[in-house]
Amino acid sequence: MGNLIYLDNAATTWPKPDKVHEYMTAFFKEFGVNPGRSGYDKAMQAEEVVHQCRTELIKLFGGGSPDHCTFSYNATDSLNQVIQGVLWDGGHAVTTTLEHNSVLRPLYHLEHERGNPVTYIPFNSQGFIDPDDIKNAIRDDTKLVIVNHGSNVIGTCQDIAAIGKICRDRGVFFAVDASQTAGVVPVKLKEMNIDAVCFTGHKSLFGPTGIGGICTDDHVKIKSTRWGGTGVRSAQKTHLEEYPFRLEAGTLNTMGIAGLVAGQEFIREQGGPKAIHHKEMALLKRLWEGIKDVEGITIYHAEDLENHIPVLSVNVDGFESMNVGMVLDCDFDIATRTGLHCAPLVHEQMGTLPIGGTVRFSVGPFNTEEHIDRAIEGLKAAVEMGHLANHHPTKKGYQSAK
Residue 94 belongs to what H/E stretch?
strand 92-96
Residue 402 is predicted with a pLDDT of 37
Backbone angles phi, psi at 10, to 5 degrees: -70, -20
Mean pLDDT value of segment 312-323: 95
Enumerate the domain spans of the chain: 5-13+272-391, 18-269
Distance CA 25, CA 18 (A): 11
Residue 237 belongs to what H/E stretch?
none
CATH of domain 5-13+272-391: 3.90.1150.10
User: For 269-299, how does the pLDDT look when each residue is reduced to its tens digit (9 = 90+)?
Assistant: 999 999 999 999 999 999 999 999 999 999 9
Residue 386 is predicted with a pLDDT of 73
User: For 104-114, how does the pLDDT look when each residue is reduced to its tens digit (9 = 90+)?
Assistant: 999 999 999 99
User: Is the CB of residue 201 less than 8 Å from the CB of residue 256?
Assistant: yes
Distance CA 138, CA 207 (A): 36
CB < 8 Å & 24+ apart, contacts of 383-392: 383/294, 383/295, 383/296, 383/297, 383/316, 383/317, 385/319, 385/327, 386/296, 386/316, 386/317, 386/318, 386/319, 387/296, 387/318, 389/318, 390/318
Beta partners for residue 92, in sequence order? 142
Q: What is the DSSP string of 158-180?
A: --HHHHHHHHHHHT-EEEEE-TT
Q: Which residues are catalytic?
A: 342
The answer to whether residue 400 scores a pLDDT higher than 70 is no
User: For 295-310, how does the pLDDT look when each residue is reduced to its tens digit (9 = 90+)?
Assistant: 999 999 999 999 999 9
Question: What is this structure's pTM?
Answer: 0.94
Distance CA 100, CA 345 (A): 9
Residue 388 is predicted with a pLDDT of 60
Q: Number of helices and strands (H, E) in the chain?
A: 11, 13
Residue 390 is predicted with a pLDDT of 55
Residue 391 is predicted with a pLDDT of 46
**Percent above pLDDT 70 for the chain:** 96
The answer to whether residue 355 scores a pLDDT higher than 70 is yes
Binned at pLDDT 50, 70 and 90, residue 41 comes out as: confident
Residue 185 is predicted with a pLDDT of 96
N-to-C CA span, the chain: 19
User: For 62-74, how does the pLDDT look when each residue is reduced to its tens digit (9 = 90+)?
Assistant: 999 999 999 999 9
18-269: in CATH 3.40.640.10: yes
Going through 290-340 in order, the beta strands assigned E by DSSP cover 297-299, 311-316, 334-335, 337-339
Beta partners for residue 297, in sequence order? 316
Identify the three-state secondary structure at position 280.
helix
Distance CA 113, CA 104 (A): 14
User: For 198-213, how does the pLDDT look when each residue is reduced to its tens digit (9 = 90+)?
Assistant: 999 999 999 999 999 9
Residue 38 is predicted with a pLDDT of 79
Residue 401 is predicted with a pLDDT of 37
